[in-house]
Amino acid sequence: MKLTQREHAYRHIRNKVASGMFTTGERIYPVQLAKEIGISLIPVREAIGQLQSEGIIVHKPHRGIFVKKIERRDLVDLIEFRTTLECAAAAQAARRISAAQIIELNERWQDLCRANEPFDVPPGTTLDNLNQLLQEWHLTDLAFHMLLFRAAGNLRAIRAMEDMHVMMKMFGRRVDNPSAWANSAAFTAENLQVHKEVYEAVLKHDAKAARKAMHLHMRRAGKNMLARFDWLQRHRDEGKSPTEEFPDSMEASVRDIQNRDQSKLSHDAGFDDMDGAEK
CA-closest candidate to residue 3, choices 35, 32, 46, 33: 46
What pLDDT, in 10s, does the model give residues 253-269?
A: 766 776 777 667 666 64
Asked if residue 271 has pLDDT above 60, the reply is: no
Share of the chain above pLDDT 70, in %: 79
**Inter-helix orientation angle 99-116/184-203, to 10°:** 170
For residues 198 and 130, what is the distance between their CA atoms, to the nearest angstrom?
26
Of residues 256 and 224, the one with the higher pLDDT is: 224
- The whole-number average pLDDT for the span 191-197 is 97
The DSSP bridge partners found for residue 67 are 57
Q: Which range (85-94, 124-133, 137-146) has the least confidence?
A: 124-133
CA-closest candidate to residue 199, choices 209, 190, 187: 209
pLDDT of residue 54: 78
Neighbours of 90 (CB within 10 A): 28
- The whole-number average pLDDT for the span 153-176 is 69
**Confidence label for 56 from pLDDT (cuts 50, 70 and 90):** confident
pLDDT of residue 277: 46
Please give the mean pLDDT across all residues of the chain.
Answer: 84
**Confidence label for 24 from pLDDT (cuts 50, 70 and 90):** confident
pLDDT of residue 175: 74
Where are the strands (E) in the chain, listed by range?
A: 27-28, 57-60, 64-67
Please report the sign of the dihedral spanned by the C-alpha atoms of residue 188, residue 194, residue 197, residue 202: negative
Pairing of strands 64-67, 57-60: antiparallel
For residues 184 and 60, what is the distance between their CA atoms, to the nearest angstrom?
44
**Confidence label for 33 from pLDDT (cuts 50, 70 and 90):** very high
pTM for the full predicted model: 0.73
pLDDT of residue 275: 45
**Confidence label for 248 from pLDDT (cuts 50, 70 and 90):** low
Helix (H, G, I), strand (E, B) or coil at 235: helix
User: What Å distances lie between residue 155 and 85, 120, 266, 273, CA to CA?
Assistant: 12, 36, 7, 8
Asked if residue 200 has pLDDT above 90, the reply is: yes
CA-closest candidate to residue 218, choices 117, 145, 137: 145
Share of the chain above pLDDT 90, in %: 46
Asked if residue 204 has pLDDT above 60, the reply is: yes
**Confidence label for 49 from pLDDT (cuts 50, 70 and 90):** very high
Give every CB contact of residue 119 below 8 A, 6+ residues apart in sequence.
127, 133, 137, 184, 185, 187, 188
DSSP string, 75-100: HHHHHHHHHHHHHHHHHHHHHH--HH
Of residues 132 and 243, the one with the higher pLDDT is: 132
What domains sit in the chain, N to C, each tagged with a CATH number?
Answer: 5-67 (1.10.10.10), 72-266 (1.20.120.530)
Find how far residue 206's CA is from the centre of its chain. 25
Q: For 181-222, what is the HEC assignment?
A: HHHHHHHHHHHHHHHHHHHHHHHCCCHHHHHHHHHHHHHHHH
